[in-house]
Structure 1
Amino acid sequence: MPTIELRTYQQRVIDQLVNYLDNNSIHIVAPPGSGKTILGITIIDKIQRKTLILVPSLLLKKQWIDTIQEYYPQWEISENLLQPAQITITTYQDLLGKGKEWKHYFEEYGINFLVLDESHHLKKRWSDLLLHLREHANDLQTLALTATPPFDANQKEWKNYIRLTGAIDEEISVSELIKEEVLAPYHDYIYLVPVTKEAQGQFSDFLENQNQIVAKLCCNQEVTDYLLAQEFIQQPLNCTTFIYKNFDVYLSCLFYLNEQHYQIGRDHWKVLGTKRKKFEIPQQTRNSIIDLYQYLYHANPRLNIFNYLSKAGWLYNDKLRLFPNFEGTNQANIPLVKEAIQHIVIKEESYLGSMLRGVLLFDHIKKDVLDGKENYLEYGVAPAFLDFKDLLKPETSLAAICGEFLIISQEVYQNYFINYSAFQKEKNLANYVYLTMTDKNQSSLLSLTTQLLDSGILNLLIGTVSLLGEGWNCPSINTIIMGNAAGSYVQTQQIRGRGLRKDGKRKLTNIWHIGVIYPNIPLAEQPSFASIFKRLSFIEGLNLLTVPLVSTGSERFELPDIPDIQAISGYTQHNLFQAKEREKYFALWSDALKQGTRLAMPLFIRNQSAEKELDVKTTTFKNRKEKSLNFFQSLLQGNLAFYFKEQKKRRLWRNSCRIQQKVVQTIYQLLINEGLLSEKIPLTIKWDETVFSCEVTASYHQEKLFNNLVSETLGEIENPRYLLKIKHAYFAVPARYSKNKKDAQSFLAEIQKSYSSAEIFYSKNLAGRKHLINARLNTLINPDNLEIIEQKIWH
């Protein structure tokens, strides 16, 4: 009987196991190819409990059974939920089919360890059922295994996911596996596709229409009259309970009325707890408009403005849809996107020749074009195949595969698929044959096609994400082109993972993302590219802004801030040129990984007005702005006012950093007092003129706990139970230390070792609510709000 020999990173997880069970859950993130099944079986062996393993597919079910039988043949295994054994293995679908009537299933059958494999699938139906079952189970421990937590899920889905799996306890990074030569290095490229003039016109019309609607929302006599009649506007001192409970609504009303040139009376300043000269009412914002009209619709949906919003499409099915996303058609852009993909493939073919092992992925098949339908505006597997069969060099072997068919050349068919029935469509397929995919032959056809791509008989395989995405393995892939819509971070990472497998050679995989972009629009405001850009910021990869480094963060892609046509073209051409430098990037990965031993998670806190640029030597952000002028330079240029203003800002920032340092040190010390951190774990705090950073060098579990507490304390104040005041600055007492007055006092006592005048306030009574309002107003007054960024950096 073979014994399991754990790799270094797997052993690290096992060594930390006791620390993960403080909340009866273990949640491990590990890339494809890292051995999650082996890790899971080892943990089951350590836990020694009656276990149910849930998987999303029959293929993974077989993988678990085969692995257990290889290493632990003595374990009794069942595949039947109604007849569970020591280890029971089945699919999520099987459990779902049994329904909620099984609410005491775990207790009834004595199951007290639940393994959730590929746990990123646990959204919506599956998570609802499992949460229902878990709520009725006592003493149930869970193990969640995934390569791709659903980071960009909506708030409700993410909350349910974490309720079920627990917070992430350990992340085995891709960088770590590349360093240990378990996975292959890679480089992500973005091909920017500027939209057509037609699409630009649609977006311009959308923005113009939105501006017209917003103008009506910002200034409407009916709304003004309605607000002026409200008691909390007329008699604010008599309505403090309502105001303090609905402070965002109250502020949005003041912002609105101020812009209608109504004076804010003395009673309002008393409610706000500040003086007129100290506070200038801000302009309306997108959020304040949403707060105002959500309140108005709840209070009086018969206002005429809502008829207008209904006709404008901003009110639908009795639900406000304020600031809806742009939903312009992308069909006009299809030829441009197809041309971009062709450009990428032709370049990769010229760079790699017979060594090309490429996969091009789509969401749709569009089979009709094989029967003669016009191809120009069709986008999917079949249209791409028809384009490439005449575009590639004769020696480049092409195939297309999906759940309905496999298309291969006559030569490949004769040599490898002769036992499968096939037919030829003379009009469009020429020297290719069409094999119909069925339930019976799908597995063998896919397996043989994969082998041919892996061995180089095939050079480019066009397919669907549903078939060639999660779970598909072809180690020799060195080029991935994501022609799909990449609907989520999970899907993006699953597809990228197809190219990370090692094939025993010196391989580097180029991964291409297609970004449809509207010229001259800031990246954050792009209607389609902004979501892709956000997902890419979660992905670790080479950061070459200064020295070679591996990090997360969107800045490593070095995209133009406001992309005009010239910048778009230059950026894409540069990427196409760099794509041939595989040896160079392979060496850069090696250099970057030599810089450290772990993927750390420092927190960066900076003024939002500062431009982001990572200084990799100090792992802090630095400002791209020109060096400030000194006193004499300012005097000579007649700009002393600006000089003194900048000096004041620097002084305030330094004072802020000193307070932030003490707050961070307090959190660090409290975690030591609880035994959650050791005094041997170092705390590093740095700051410069624009950025404050802090980091503990510990396990993932410990670093994440520390970062969450720091972010909660130093971040934007919303509605904490207790408030901390140091000098004129307010902070939220984190929930961990504000469950009751005793905990909050312990937090304060630690702070007072550095700031004896520090105070805490309970925000749920009247006096405390006034301090909470003060804290919120300070945020509004300060134009340089802080932004907290957790960035993963290999060092």
Structure 2
Amino acid sequence: MELIHSLKFKFEWRSYQQNFLDHFTEHIQDHHLHMVAPPGSGKTILGLEVLRRVNKRTLVLAPTLTIRNQWKDRLVSFFLNDVTFTNFSTNIKEPKLLTFSTYQSLHALNKRLTKAENHSLLEFIRENGIETLVLDEAHHLKNEWYKCLMALKEIEGLTVIALTATPPYDSSGAELNKYFELCGPIDDEIAVPDLVKNGDLCPHQDFVYFSKPSEAQIRYIVEYRENIIQFMNDLKVDTKFQNLLLEHPFYKNTEDTLEEIYGKPSFLSAMLIFLNSAGVDIDKEKLLFLGFENKVVDFPELTYEWIEILLQELLVAQREALGAYEPQLKAIEKQLGRIGVYEKKRVNFVGDEQLYRSLASSPSKLRSIHNILQEEYKVLGEQLKAVVLTDFIRKEFFDYTGEATGVLNKLGVVSIFQYLRIKSGHKQHLAILTGSLVVLHKTVVEDFEKVLGEGAFGKQPMVADTDFITISAFGNAKNNIVAAVTELFQKGKIKILIGTKSLLGEGWDAPAINTLVLASYVGSFVSSNQMRGRAIRTDANESNKTGNIWHLACLDPTISDGGKDLEKLKRRFTAFSGVSIDGEPYIENGLDRLQLPAHFDEDSHLEELNATMVQSASDRQNLGERWHEAIHKGSVLVREVKVPYTDRTPFRKVKRMRSVDAAQYLVIEVVAGLGLFLPEFLMKNIGTLLNKGIFQFLYFLLAGIVIGFAPKTYKALKLYFLFGNSFKKTIKISNALLDYLVRTKQIHSGSCAISVVAEQNANGAFVCYLKGASNYESTLFVNLLHEILAPVENPRYLLVNSNWLKRKWGIRNYYVVPQDLGRRKADAERFHSFWKKHVDGSKLLYTRTQMGRKELLKARLAHIVYQFKEVSEKAITWK
């Protein structure tokens, strides 16, 4: 074929690129290659080398024309020595050996072929001999694009190469499954530490600056919460509603509706939890029928999540079947609508969207942005090159001429600009750059004219402040305006550039950025990572560049964990790898590396947090040193399962028990206790010894010891065995899983080369990962282990180990057989054999029989406490 001979990379590969290419043959064996590569890693160039090695007729698809053209430009600049090679095209209707196009063009072609020509896209691809499909920036795929691409996968032998900077981990489960169904599992990932080590990315850090809502917002949130609490209290004493639930077929005719119950176990759980919370005695016979032999269920408290499930079913899913109760349901619907928790047929007590929008766009973030830039200016001075990215322009504030910032009550480009213009002492450094609005300070207009050309644009003084000029370009100059403003920013003529993420978030590049403020809250963390990528590139003109990326969080004062704005931020941070902010340097994804508190209760705490962030951000030299120290401690990104420590008993106490053994711990506790107990006992009971004799005295002494120390003994043993269950058992499960994967040849590196490693963190959380495994093998192991430890949902097979002590102490009796290991009975049984070898004698239960369904329902009810909690989470660490 022509590709492998006509194309050749002109330069030397970087070490991490070469490492990826060394494993290429292994990755491509299944005709799939899924690569994750951060901005700056040469993803497009590697993609061209991959398709050269595959050496087949190829269609490359990109999300935009700009990125499509980058493929063609990189081909010409980096691979073509032979100028006579012209067998490439950007016209999908006339494909050549190499065709560069967009997803939109493919979708349009599919529609035209189907409607106008009664032809299929599948036939078109086959007729043109296309055997390789490259999906660039695969996280952009939409449903319509996905459908026609999945149709193409029917072509036998088609090779699919997927490239992305950030997999869409924050998409819904169904969307994420579609993504991996199309792209396949991740085969390899180029690590950010390798890029920093090689000098392709600069040392950088993510910081969070906290604010609290305005008084008006706080009143709104408090009233919102109080209305919900009042509604829940009223509902719990509503005997008509209780009667509705007691008469519901799920409760009244449990035996006759078992099949329906099995399809909606969460709804039954919600019913029982509500009735228990309302003080209704649950029918013990029903608990017995559902599989609870001791007729006791430890029901959790009624939370927002449970009442959402309950009312969503009653008001929407089962509304027609509950016609007899329509007046009552209608009244509840109106009440929910009045307090703002029922909209578009969705019950939402948590306030995910309504409260999140209020907090995410809080005007308190304007002050945060100002404070951040003031602090950055103190450190960097004239070297400051800051970009503030947000979602909306907010032109309604453009002509505001006042000096009171309270009017600026919405987050947007113009409101940020106006706030900084009024508050900042460096307004001459400000500029706006969006697709429809460009504002420059009058001191840089002359330089702008030199870059763009005299007479190529119109100028109009800004009404709010005549020191600023609004720019309007004409003709072809309109297309060059972004490049002209970017050049002024690169040169330092503009030091603070405020723009929209739609224009500057992806595809725009200005290596001089050393401070980025992400004031964006619309969209996924895929776009957040793209925006973040602007600030972490190296700058040829500044060899010691470091990048500070600031994220904004407005805390909900009615929620101790910070609320939805911070929760969204936590999810986004799973896409970011970075160095720990303090203590021993390590590199990890997620928000834990910033060492934030679990609870945010006091305003003073918030100020201390911001001060800590600012202090750390100001020491840029230390940032570089921490990166390089952490990089030298590892060599590869390791995927791991992290199990958080959630027990209320301090971890130090549990750790102390583990280190000395339970029996020794008890002896120490008893001896220490007796040292305090005996003297007091002797003083009080000396009369007994003298009057009634030694035997009566010893009787009272022993009784006192038992009464005084039995509870402590019970508690100590319980802590010890609970700890052993969570830590030691996870290690046993990991070994069982590894043994299974090696014996079934799903792991190819060999059992001698790979081992399970478990490490305990200082905060009590522990991690499990595979040492010596490939990226693909680690990903497979972590995904399966995470599924085993997850709350019980609806697996085909369960592992059941029930005994009295475990039930009494709340130790898990049920574990899930992962979906991929439970598709066939033979696979499930084989995994079970490894479980018995390494873990315990649990029984394998098939849940699709009547008895199995009952046990599954029991498992879900028994583990009801895990329903809305992360039992384990996936993490990526440099080791």
TM value normalised by structure 1: 0.90
Aligned to 2:768: 694
- Seen in structure 2, the aligned counterparts of structure 1 residues 683 and 500 have a Cα distance that, compared at 3 Å, is same
Report deviation, 1:113: 1.5
**Inter-partner Cα distance in structure 1 for 2:484 and 2:717:** 69
Report deviation, 1:398: 3.4
**1:630 correspondence with 2:669:** yes
Task: Say which is worse superposed, 635-644 or 247-256, in terms of deviation.
Answer: 635-644
Aligned to 1:293: 311
Aligned to 1:64: 71
- Seen in structure 2, the aligned counterparts of structure 1 residues 778 and 493 have a Cα distance that, compared at 3 Å, is same
- Tell me if the contact between 2:731 and 2:756 (Cα under 8 Å) persists in the aligned partners: no
Report deviation, 1:241: 3.9
Match of 2:744 among 674, 698, 704: 674
Match of 2:364 among 331, 336, 343: 336
Match of 2:109 among 93, 98, 105: 98
**1:191 correspondence with 2:209:** yes
**Inter-partner Cα distance in structure 2 for 1:785 and 1:527:** 15
Aligned to 1:363: 391
> What does the per-residue CA deviation read over 1:600-621, in whole Å, with 9 as the maximum and x for residues that have no partner?
122223453369999xxxxx9x
- Seen in structure 2, the aligned counterparts of structure 1 residues 549 and 634 have a Cα distance that, compared at 3 Å, is farther
**1:110 correspondence with 2:129:** yes
Report deviation, 1:331: 9.7
Q: Which amino acid aligns with 2:544?
A: R
**Inter-partner Cα distance in structure 2 for 1:737 and 1:366:** 52
**Inter-partner Cα distance in structure 1 for 2:507 and 2:651:** 37
Report deviation, 1:593: 1.4
**Inter-partner Cα distance in structure 2 for 1:435 and 1:426:** 10
Report deviation, 1:122: 1.1
Report deviation, 1:591: 1.4
Task: Say which is worse superposed, 544-553 or 222-231, in terms of deviation.
Answer: 222-231
Query: Structure 1: where are the runs of 5+ without partners?
Result: 615-619, 621-626
The residue correspondences of 1:335-734 to structure 2 (distance < 5 A) are 335-372=363-400, 376-377=407-408, 379-389=411-421, 397-418=429-450, 419=454, 420-425=456-461, 427-437=463-473, 440-485=476-521, 487-504=523-540, 505-519=543-557, 521-523=559-561, 526-560=563-597, 561-609=599-647, 630-633=669-672, 636=676, 641-655=711-725, 657-677=727-747, 678-686=750-758, 691-697=765-771, 698-726=773-801, 728=803, 729-734=813-818
Q: Which amino acid aligns with 1:348?
A: E
Aligned to 1:623: none
Q: Which amino acid aligns with 2:538?
A: K
Aligned to 1:761: 845
**Inter-partner Cα distance in structure 1 for 2:580 and 2:552:** 20
Task: Say which is worse superposed, 362-371 or 315-324, in terms of deviation.
Answer: 315-324
- Tell me if the contact between 1:608 and 1:786 (Cα under 8 Å) persists in the aligned partners: no
Report deviation, 1:642: 4.0
Aligned to 1:31: 38
- Tell me if the contact between 2:821 and 2:831 (Cα under 8 Å) persists in the aligned partners: yes
- Tell me if the contact between 2:135 and 2:160 (Cα under 8 Å) persists in the aligned partners: yes
- Seen in structure 2, the aligned counterparts of structure 1 residues 268 and 607 have a Cα distance that, compared at 3 Å, is farther
Aligned to 2:331: 308
**1:86 correspondence with 2:156:** no
Report deviation, 1:411: 4.0
Aligned to 1:176: 194
Q: Percent of pairs identical after alignment?
A: 27
- Tell me if the contact between 2:800 and 2:814 (Cα under 8 Å) persists in the aligned partners: yes
**1:122 correspondence with 2:141:** yes
**Inter-partner Cα distance in structure 2 for 1:17 and 1:650:** 47
**Inter-partner Cα distance in structure 2 for 1:612 and 1:85:** 66
**Inter-partner Cα distance in structure 2 for 1:245 and 1:383:** 50
Report deviation, 1:692: 4.8
- Seen in structure 2, the aligned counterparts of structure 1 residues 358 and 263 have a Cα distance that, compared at 3 Å, is closer
**1:743 correspondence with 2:817:** no
Query: Structure 2: where are the runs of 5+ without partners?
Result: 1-7, 115-119, 653-657, 659-664, 678-707, 804-812
TM value normalised by structure 2: 0.82
Q: Which amino acid aligns with 1:660?
A: T
**Which SS does the other structure have where 2:871 is aligned?**
strand
Report deviation, 1:7: 1.8
**Inter-partner Cα distance in structure 1 for 2:342 and 2:417:** 43
**Inter-partner Cα distance in structure 2 for 1:183 and 1:521:** 38
**Inter-partner Cα distance in structure 2 for 1:272 and 1:741:** 25
Task: Say which is worse superposed, 365-374 or 10-19, in terms of deviation.
Answer: 365-374
**Which SS does the other structure have where 2:852 is aligned?**
helix
Task: Say which is worse superposed, 180-189 or 784-793, in terms of deviation.
Answer: 784-793
CA RMSD of aligned residues (A): 3.3
**Which SS does the other structure have where 1:88 is aligned?**
strand
Q: Which amino acid aligns with 2:566?
A: F
**Inter-partner Cα distance in structure 2 for 1:436 and 1:151:** 40
- Seen in structure 2, the aligned counterparts of structure 1 residues 12 and 305 have a Cα distance that, compared at 3 Å, is farther
Report deviation, 1:581: 1.0
Report deviation, 1:168: 2.3
- Tell me if the contact between 1:400 and 1:461 (Cα under 8 Å) persists in the aligned partners: yes
Report deviation, 1:209: 1.0
**Which SS does the other structure have where 2:458 is aligned?**
coil
**Which SS does the other structure have where 1:184 is aligned?**
coil
> What does the per-residue CA deviation read over 1:488-509, in whole Å, with 9 as the maximum and x for residues that have no partner?
2112111111111101311111
> What does the per-residue CA deviation read over 1:1-44, in whole Å, with 9 as the maximum and x for residues that have no partner?
75253222222222333443465432211111110001100110
- Tell me if the contact between 1:541 and 1:551 (Cα under 8 Å) persists in the aligned partners: yes
Structure having the higher helix fraction is 2
Aligned to 2:689: none
- Tell me if the contact between 1:397 and 1:458 (Cα under 8 Å) persists in the aligned partners: yes
**Which SS does the other structure have where 2:445 is aligned?**
helix
**Inter-partner Cα distance in structure 2 for 1:263 and 1:519:** 36
Task: Say which is worse superposed, 560-569 or 292-301, in terms of deviation.
Answer: 292-301
Match of 1:8 among 9, 15, 25: 15
**1:772 correspondence with 2:856:** yes
**Inter-partner Cα distance in structure 2 for 1:394 and 1:785:** 47
Report deviation, 1:788: 0.9
> What does the per-residue CA deviation read over 1:561-609, in whole Å, with 9 as the maximum and x for residues that have no partner?
2242111112112322332211111111111212111221222234533
Return the index of the structure with the highest Cα Rg. 2
**Inter-partner Cα distance in structure 1 for 2:218 and 2:40:** 43
Report deviation, 1:693: 3.2
Report deviation, 1:276: 3.4
**Inter-partner Cα distance in structure 2 for 1:397 and 1:776:** 59
**Inter-partner Cα distance in structure 1 for 2:210 and 2:557:** 10
> What does the per-residue CA deviation read over 1:235-274, in whole Å, with 9 as the maximum and x for residues that have no partner?
5445544444443333333333334444444532332222
Q: Which amino acid aligns with 1:415?
A: D
**Inter-partner Cα distance in structure 1 for 2:789 and 2:62:** 40
Report deviation, 1:395: 9.9
| Pairs aligned (count) | 782
> What does the per-residue CA deviation read over 1:743-764, in whole Å, with 9 as the maximum and x for residues that have no partner?
1221122233346844312111
